[in-house]
């Protein structure tokens, strides 16, 4: 497995990470715990050293899973987790990045992950009630204490990034980025390249759509959040299939799969981009890891960009209430 550094921070990780959220929530029923532990450990065997979780996932159960699975590899892997969103008594997600809450979240995450320090600690979403300088200052204190190694932000706007970075250097930004969500190219990528910050794209396979395994007839489990995503209505899926067809055409020529082309495209964008596709299946893990070996030429990239620029994606990427929480 090739390695990459997240910006100028010196934090080195595998070129492809593993997003662990879907093992516990969001994409249908949670996976069997022992099966998921085996999957995470298989990823380590295959050279993956970068694993992504959050206290919100479950909540808490995903961190426990990741902590147990990676306990034998402590010091050899990088674990990223997140603070800043909690569930209220009614089960609704509430943002809370007050410094005292960050410290409380950290102590819980350290226990569940079975580590002495968090390698990369993201603010899960920007909290409009707490100045980002206070958030960055709280994490800076935790870094001084040796409880956190690197600071990150998930889906912030560029002004927020600059303000945070001035207080505590930001190692990585996590943001959705893929061939079917390219808004980060306008402002985010130039800003973080200037500041020397890495990018960790989540949903690099368009929540599964870019794998070519989903069409307008696909049905999802009732607990799968894609049921409420505008981009996943049957009509939108039918319209958006043209993007998958593009990937499939190039994949056939490269003796690869659409998913591998989608990931290889991201890897070719910048050397400081590290996607974190998630899966509950060993065969998908193997397929995703195979993307690192797929070489796209400059001609391939021009062809993809030219064809993709003619595609209008139908449907928003989130329901309106969730989209409002992002800083993009």
Q: Which tens digit of pLDDT belongs to each residue from 258-287?
A: 999 999 999 999 999 999 999 999 999 999
- pLDDT value at residue 3: 98
pLDDT, residue 273, reads 98
Reference 208, options 164, 165, 174, 257; nearest CA is 257
Strands 93-95 and 50-52 turn out to be unpaired
- Looking at domain 3-206+269-291, which CATH architecture does it have? Alpha-Beta Barrel (3.20)
pLDDT of the residue at 327: 61
Pairing state of beta strands 93-95 and 85-87?
antiparallel
Domain boundaries, the chain: 3-206+269-291
| Each residue's pLDDT tens digit, 2-13 | 999 999 999 999
Three-state SS at 60: coil
Pairing of strands 198-202, 118-123: unpaired
Q: How many CB atoms lie within 10 A of CB 301?
A: 14
Q: Given 27, 57, 121, 122, which residue is catalytic?
A: 57
**Model confidence at 238: pLDDT above 70:** yes
Give me the torsion for CA of 306, 311, 315, 318, rounded to 10°. Answer: -10
pLDDT band at 234 (very low <50, low <70, confident <90, very high): very high
pTM of the model: 0.97
Q: How far apart are CA 145 and CA 139, in angstroms?
A: 10
Catalytic residue list contains 57: yes
The arithmetic mean of pLDDT across residues 147-154, rounded, is 98
Nearest alpha carbon to residue 43 among 241, 252, 281: 281
Q: Is the pLDDT of residue 220 over 90?
A: yes
């Amino acid at each position: 497995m090739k390695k990459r550094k997240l910006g100028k921070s010196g934090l080195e990780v595998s070129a492809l990470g593993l997003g662990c959220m879907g093992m516990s929530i969001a994409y249908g029923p949670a996976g069997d715990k022992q099966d998921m532990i085996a999957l995470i450990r298989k990823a380590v065997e295959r050279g993956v050293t970068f694993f992504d979780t959050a206290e919100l996932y479950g909540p808490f159960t995903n961190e426990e899973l990741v902590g147990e699975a990676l306990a034998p590899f402590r010091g050899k892997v990088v674990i990223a987790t997140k603070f800043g969103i909690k569930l209220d008594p009614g089960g609704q997600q509430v943002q809370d990045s007050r410094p005292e809450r960050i410290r409380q979240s950290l102590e819980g995450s350290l226990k569940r992950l079975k580590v002495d320090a968090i390698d990369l600690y993201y603010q899960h979403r920007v909290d409009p009630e707490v100045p980002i300088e206070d958030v960055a200052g709280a994490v800076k204190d935790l870094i001084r204490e040796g409880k956190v190694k690197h600071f990150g932000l998930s889906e912030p706007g560029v002004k927020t990034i600059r303000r945070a970075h001035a207080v505590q250097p930001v190692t990585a930004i996590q943001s959705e980025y893929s061939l079917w969500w390219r808004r980060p190219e306008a402002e985010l990528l130039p800003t973080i390249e200037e500041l020397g910050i890495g990018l960790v794209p989540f949903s690099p396979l368009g929540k599964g759509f870019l794998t070519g395994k989903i069409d307008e007839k696909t049905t999802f489990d009732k607990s799968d959040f894609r049921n409420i995503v505008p981009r996943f209505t049957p009509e939108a899926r039918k319209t958006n299939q043209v993007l998958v067809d593009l990937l499939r055409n190039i994949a056939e020529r490269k003796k690869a799969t659409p998913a591998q082309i989608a990931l290889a495209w991201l890897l070719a964008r910048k050397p400081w981009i590290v996607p974190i596709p998630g899966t509950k299946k060993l065969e998908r893990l193997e397929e995703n890891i195979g993307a690192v070996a797929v070489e796209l030429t400059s001609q391939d990239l021009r062809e993809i960009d030219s064809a993709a620029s003619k595609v209008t994606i139908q449907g928003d990427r989130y329901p309106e209430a969730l989209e409002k929480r992002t800083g993009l």
